[in-house]
Amino acid sequence: MSTKTPECWASDASAKLLRIEVSPEKSLLLKYDQLIHAEFDNAEKEQRLRLIFATHEVIIRGCMLRRIETALQRLELSYLAAVPASFRAAVADGQPVVREIVVTEVKDVQSGTNHRPE
């Protein structure tokens, strides 16, 4: 059994794309030059980071997300994935934990149709 702490994010100063693991079977690469807006919300029970790209909206829910927001601000965020519930207790105190990632195509947001998570 692996004793490695689960990683839900990574930083790379030369990142030009953000890789998002939507599920174990599906990932998405988004270009930083298409990032339009980011919004951090520190609610009582969990934090939310909303990223709007030209083609997709990404909602990240979890805790300690300020570190992820800072990496994004520096255009160094290279990887995001949700940590499975069974591994969350293994994440060191003070480290970000991504509980959920929801990705929606922007065309769905603009047209007002039902949001279709990818």
Tell me the pLDDT tens digit for each residue of 6-37.
Answer: 578 999 999 999 999 998 899 999 999 999 99
Mean pLDDT within 86-106:
80
What's the pTM value of the predicted model, to 2 decimals? 0.80
Instruction: State which residues form the domain around 104.
Output: 9-111
For residue 1, tell me if it sits in a domain.
no
Counting the structural domains of the chain, the total is: 1
Look at residue 77 in the predicted model and tell me its pLDDT.
Answer: 95
Look at residue 62 in the predicted model and tell me its pLDDT.
Answer: 93
50 Cβ neighbours under 8 A, 6+ residues apart: 37, 38, 39, 40, 41, 57, 58, 59, 60
Q: In what order do the strands lie in the sheet with 35-42?
A: 35-42, 47-53, 56-63, 97-105
Distance CA 72, CA 26 (A): 22
For residue 86, tell me if it sits in a domain.
yes
For residue 117, tell me if it sits in a domain.
no
For residue 3, tell me if it sits in a domain.
no
* Contact present, 89 and 110 (Cβ < 8 Å): no
For residue 14, tell me if it sits in a domain.
yes
